[in-house]
């Protein structure tokens, strides 16, 4: 079949794409910006990429009209007002208008379980989107409503993991008594592929859930048990939704907007309705919550995290047009350039560059980086806790602590990062490994800051003494990390270069 896949850069879309290709389907991925859609070598010649924004109907004019089915995996967890509610429906309406121009027979939508009466804004929005998608003329809608999705890199898993691993004693709000039916991401993938072109699923809505019905408190304690931790969870009635959001935001790697959305949604029970069971149409035995946890940790330990919740544009952090920053500005900027000539294998040094951040840290005075991350978190930024998707691999669009990867070119040995921390300006950090005529190589480390007004310039010059310590030590440690013999020397342009 020829399938249009929306949300291809998101957590679910990145995992679904190779499954559809391996099943022999011809897949067209709809993305806002193809520059951040980096396909693996095995997929590059087997996938078509189409550019378009569902909020801009004119951008959909050139989409292929010969598709047989479509996946609608477009969600937003960053909106919290009526504009967000309207935007999600508007996006769905534009998608339906496109579908009505095609012979597509099915559209598959991954939604959320919404069986309570007083639903959160986001769950109500999911139901409203379902209603819009159902209005398509020929494409019959298949809705899969899932509860909490557990998998390496999923928002729910990462938040629960953060809470358990960082807090021996947790003082928690009342919503931890709400019930849910966690489902492993592997089972979600199974259902998404199994309902495709399945006559028993056309025009139907199904509730998906694993075998365990748990409170969020039980989920925390079960994860602690799996990891061998002893944890105490105290529930108090005085934490308002806003206080709960701040608590979640400051303790975990989530953004504040996502924390708000989760707190509001977690007040609802998300337990599957037996009347909407998918068991008859698609028989399948789902993993237990504990099995899903063990598989997630196994993937993390094996460096096989395919996607992360923070990859998506809807994570509330990434700018929609962030790839426009790929070219370093030349004028009106302040710079710090460090260069170091070395005799090591350049591939070893590139690997050190590619492993920067996350658990390895930033190679020099990590406590200052952590302090900067904490200050960023306190003023509503992303902080350092996002970490990285993989400890060894980077690709365009990846989050990297409070940076975003713009370029990760292994062949050219170039890594370009763009700052997503709160700043009075814009910041870039670039690493390049350049060959020299004498057979050596030079690592170039370039920090670029485009200040916003007087506050931006004061910010930069106040940090120049720290920059000299951090950046000089950082480039030296990157080159020498893992090498037992000193094999590097500075080259002429080593001092900071403002201007």
Q: 24: how many CB neighbours lie within 10 A of its CB?
A: 8
Q: 368: how many CB neighbours lie within 10 A of its CB?
A: 13
Mean pLDDT per block of 10 residues along the chain (499 residues) reads 92 91 94 78 85 90 93 71 76 94 95 80 85 93 93 83 85 80 94 96 94 91 91 78 73 71 74 92 94 88 62 42 63 90 94 93 90 84 78 85 89 92 92 94 94 91 89 94 62 42
Q: What is the pTM of this model?
A: 0.75
The confidence score (pLDDT) of residue 115 equals 81
Q: Is 148 exposed, middle or buried (0-12, 13-18, 19+ CB in 10 A)?
A: buried
Of 65, 61, 60, 49, the closest CA to residue 8 belongs to: 49
The number of angstroms, rounded, from the C-alpha of 169 to the middle of its chain's C-alpha atoms is: 28
Token pair, residue 59, equals 């951008």
Q: Are 139 and 99 in contact (CB under 8 A)?
A: yes
Q: Are 357 and 400 in contact (CB under 8 A)?
A: yes
The confidence score (pLDDT) of residue 362 equals 93
Cite the beta strand spans of 256-398 per DSSP E.
334-342
The confidence score (pLDDT) of residue 312 equals 53
Report which DSSP code applies to 177.
G
Query: SS3 letters for 237-288?
Result: CCCCHHHHHHHHHHHCCCCHHHHHHHHHHHCCCECCCHHHECCCCCCCCCCC
The confidence score (pLDDT) of residue 499 equals 40
* 129 vs 107: CA distance, rounded Å: 12
Residues 6+ apart with CB under 8 A from 227: 164, 165, 297
The number of angstroms, rounded, from the C-alpha of 496 to the middle of its chain's C-alpha atoms is: 34
Cross-strand bridge partners of residue 53: 56
The confidence score (pLDDT) of residue 494 equals 38
* 451 vs 461: CA distance, rounded Å: 11
**Assign residue 331 a region: left if phi > 0, alpha if psi is -120 to 50, beta otherwise?**
beta
Return the residue matching tokens 């391996």: 22
The sheet carrying 69-72 orders its strands as: 47-51, 26-31, 2-6, 69-72, 106-112, 140-146, 205-208
Residues 6+ apart with CB under 8 A from 238: none
3-class DSSP assignment, residue 6: strand
* 186 vs 166: CA distance, rounded Å: 27
The number of angstroms, rounded, from the C-alpha of 159 to the middle of its chain's C-alpha atoms is: 13
Return the residue matching tokens 């485009």: 450
Residues 6+ apart with CB under 8 A from 164: 220, 223, 224, 227, 229, 231
Q: Are 337 and 448 in contact (CB under 8 A)?
A: no
CA trace torsion 390, 395, 399, 400 (10° rounding): 70
The confidence score (pLDDT) of residue 337 equals 93
Reduced DSSP (H G I as helix, E B as strand, rest coil) percent helix, strand, coil of the chain, to 5: 40, 20, 40
Return the residue matching tokens 């030349």: 330
The confidence score (pLDDT) of residue 396 equals 82
3-class DSSP assignment, residue 403: strand
3-class DSSP assignment, residue 55: coil
Cross-strand bridge partners of residue 366: none
The confidence score (pLDDT) of residue 393 equals 87
């Amino acid at each position: 079949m020829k399938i249009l896949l929306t949300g291809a850069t998101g957590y679910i879309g990145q995992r679904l794409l190779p499954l559809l290709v391996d099943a022999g389907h011809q897949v067209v991925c709809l993305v806002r910006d193809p520059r951040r859609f980096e396909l693996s070598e095995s997929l590059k010649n087997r996938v078509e990429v189409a550019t378009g924004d569902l909020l801009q109907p004119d951008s959909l004019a050139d989409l292929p009209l010969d598709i047989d089915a479509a996946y609608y995996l477009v969600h937003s967890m960053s909106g919290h007002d009526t504009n967000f509610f309207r935007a999600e429906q508007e996006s769905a309406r534009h998608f339906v208008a496109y579908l009505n121009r095609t012979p597509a027979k099915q559209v598959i939508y991954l939604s959320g379980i919404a069986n309570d009466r007083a639903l959160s804004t986001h769950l109500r929005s999911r139901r409203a989107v379902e209603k819009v998608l159902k209005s398509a003329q020929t494409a019959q809608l298949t809705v899969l409503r899932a509860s909490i999705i557990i998998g390496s890199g999923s928002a729910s898993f990462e938040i629960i993991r953060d809470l358990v691993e960082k807090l021996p004693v947790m003082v928690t709000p009342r919503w931890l008594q709400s019930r849910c039916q966690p489902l492993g991401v592997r089972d979600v993938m199974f259902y998404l592929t199994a309902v495709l072109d399945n006559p028993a699923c056309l025009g139907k809505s199904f509730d998906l859930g694993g075998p365990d019905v748990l409170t969020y408190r039980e989920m925390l304690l079960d994860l602690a048990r799996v990891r061998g931790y002893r944890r105490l969870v105290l529930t108090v009635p005085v934490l308002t939704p806003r206080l709960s959001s701040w608590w979640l935001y400051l303790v975990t790697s989530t953004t504040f907007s996502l924390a708000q959305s989760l707190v509001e949604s977690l007040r609802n029970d998300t337990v599957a309705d037996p009347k909407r069971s998918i068991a008859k149409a698609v028989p399948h035995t789902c993993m237990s919550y504990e099995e899903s946890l063990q598989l997630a940790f196994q993937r993390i330990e094996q460096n096989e995290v395919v996607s992360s919740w923070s990859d998506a544009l809807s994570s509330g952090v990434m700018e929609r047009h962030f790839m426009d920053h790929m070219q370093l500005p030349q004028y009106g900027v302040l710079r710090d350039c460090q260069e170091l000539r070395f005799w090591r294998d350049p591939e070893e040094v590139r690997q050190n560059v590619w492993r920067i951040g996350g658990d390895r840290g930033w190679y020099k005075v990590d406590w200052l980086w952590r302090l900067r991350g904490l200050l960023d978190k306190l003023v509503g930024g992303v902080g350092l806790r996002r970490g990285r998707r993989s400890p060894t691999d980077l690709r365009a669009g990846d989050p990297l602590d409070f940076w975003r990867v713009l370029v990760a070119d292994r062949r050219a040995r170039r890594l370009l990062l763009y700052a997503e921390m709160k700043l009075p300006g814009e910041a870039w950090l670039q690493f390049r490994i350049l060959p020299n005529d004498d057979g050596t190589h030079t690592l170039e480390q370039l920090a670029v800051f485009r200040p916003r007004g007087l506050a931006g310039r004061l910010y930069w010059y106040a940090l120049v003494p720290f920059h000299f310590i951090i950046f000089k030590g950082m480039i030296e440690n990157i080159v020498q990390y893992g090498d037992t013999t000193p094999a590097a020397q500075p080259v002429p342009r080593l001092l900071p270069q403002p201007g």
